[in-house]
């Protein structure tokens, strides 16, 4: 192959970035910056700085898209939802069990025993607790019971928070602890912020817009064009060394440009049109103008 001279050098293939996908475009940009001129003029320095910044942004976009493509593991959310359901069910079931002892035949157990006997006092205590449990159950769960645990997560989070606010507003904590134990209420209060955080995280994931890699690819292609055209502007036929510097600086483009056989068998030159990109999911890059 004869040596390239100012007369034979065709800058056209270097004025437009190769039609390659985003990842390859990033790799090409890094390769161009790695072999850039040792003492570039201001125009090339500015274009190189811009290209580097765009490549960093593109790397971030690729990383984000990779994160979006990873399967999310919902088992933790399901487990937390089940835990919350179980805690609320345990509270209601305890109150319901105690309330169920408010029976007309309960006093029969005290028959034959004095009104001051331990059995009579136990019956009276249980009747009192049963009535209180029934009233407390109604104040906490109303007529719908545990239906809120079957609602969508966002609605359930709000309804559980409403019940806990009702507990604080009406000073029901002591009554709950006396009838159902102190542990359940403590665990319910601990679970609530975790549940709300889980719901918020799910909403954030569902609302997030996917990264538009086609837009990012076009931006990289434009930055590549600005840089290569800035390097081409270094050509000076009065400086014989400038051609070698430019050819070396743009050499990575030859490696990244897909090769294809000549369309004829008589060694006719190719048209120089950009190759079709391997991934048709990205947009066609625009023409790259000189900076």
Any idea where the domains of the chain sit in the sequence?
12-69+213-256, 75-207
CB 99 within 8 Å of CB 130: yes
Read off the pLDDT of residues 205-263 as tens digits, 9 standing for 90 and up. 755 567 788 999 999 999 999 999 999 999 998 898 999 999 999 999 998 876 654 33
pLDDT at 286: 36
Residue 185 has a pLDDT of: 95
**What pTM value is reported for the model?**
0.48
Task: Give the residue from 2, 9, 1 showing the smallest Cα distance to 242.
Answer: 9
d(CA 268, CA 150): 73
Position 1 scores a pLDDT of 64
Residue 269: pLDDT above 80? no
Dist CA 12 CA 17 (whole Å):
10
Rg (CA), the chain: 38
pLDDT of residue 258: 66
Mean pLDDT of 41-69: 89
- Per cent of the chain over pLDDT 90 is 57
CA 183 to chain CA centroid, Å, is 36
pLDDT digits (tens, 9 = 90+) for 142-162: 999 999 999 999 999 999 999
* CB neighbour burial string for 174-205, b if at least 16 within 10 angstroms, e if fewer: ebbeebbeeebbebbeebbeebbebbeeeeee
Model confidence at 132: pLDDT above 90: yes
pLDDT digits (tens, 9 = 90+) for 24-38: 999 999 999 999 999
Classify residue 130 as exposed, middle or buried by CB count within 10 Å of its CB (0-12, 13-18, 19+). Answer: buried
Contacts of 52 (CB under 8 A, 6+ apart): 29, 33
pLDDT on residue 229: 96
Which percentage of the chain shows pLDDT scores above 70?
83
């Amino acid at each position: 192959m004869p040596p390239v001279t100012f007369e034979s050098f065709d800058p056209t293939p270097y004025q437009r970035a190769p039609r390659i996908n985003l990842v390859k475009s990033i790799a090409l940009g890094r390769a161009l910056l790695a072999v850039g001129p040792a003492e570039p003029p201001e125009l090339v320095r500015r274009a190189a700085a811009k290209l580097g910044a765009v490549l960093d942004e593109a790397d971030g976009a690729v990383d984000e898209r990779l994160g979006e493509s990873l399967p999310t593991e919902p088992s933790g959310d399901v487990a937390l939802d089940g835990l919350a359901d179980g805690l609320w069910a345990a509270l209601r079931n305890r109150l319901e069990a105690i309330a169920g002892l408010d029976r007309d035949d309960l006093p029969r157990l005290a028959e034959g025993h004095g009104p001051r006997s331990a059995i009579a006092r136990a019956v009276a205590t249980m009747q009192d607790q049963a009535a209180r449990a029934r009233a407390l159950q109604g104040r906490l769960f109303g007529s719908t019971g545990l239906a809120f645990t079957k609602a969508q997560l966002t609605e359930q989070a709000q309804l559980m928070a409403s019940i806990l606010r009702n507990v604080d507003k009406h000073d029901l904590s002591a009554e709950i602890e006396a009838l159902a134990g102190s542990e359940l209420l403590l665990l319910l209060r601990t679970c609530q912020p975790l549940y709300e955080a889980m719901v918020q995280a799910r909403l954030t994931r569902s609302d997030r817009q996917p990264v538009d890699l086609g837009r990012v690819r076009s931006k990289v292609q434009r930055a590549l064009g600005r840089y290569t055209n800035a390097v081409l502007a270094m050509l000076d036929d009065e400086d014989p060394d400038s051609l070698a510097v430019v050819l070396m600086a743009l050499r990575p483009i030859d490696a990244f440009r897909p090769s294809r056989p000549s369309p004829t068998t008589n060694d006719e030159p190719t048209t120089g049109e950009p190759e079709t990109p391997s991934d048709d999911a990205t947009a066609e890059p625009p023409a790259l103008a000189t900076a």
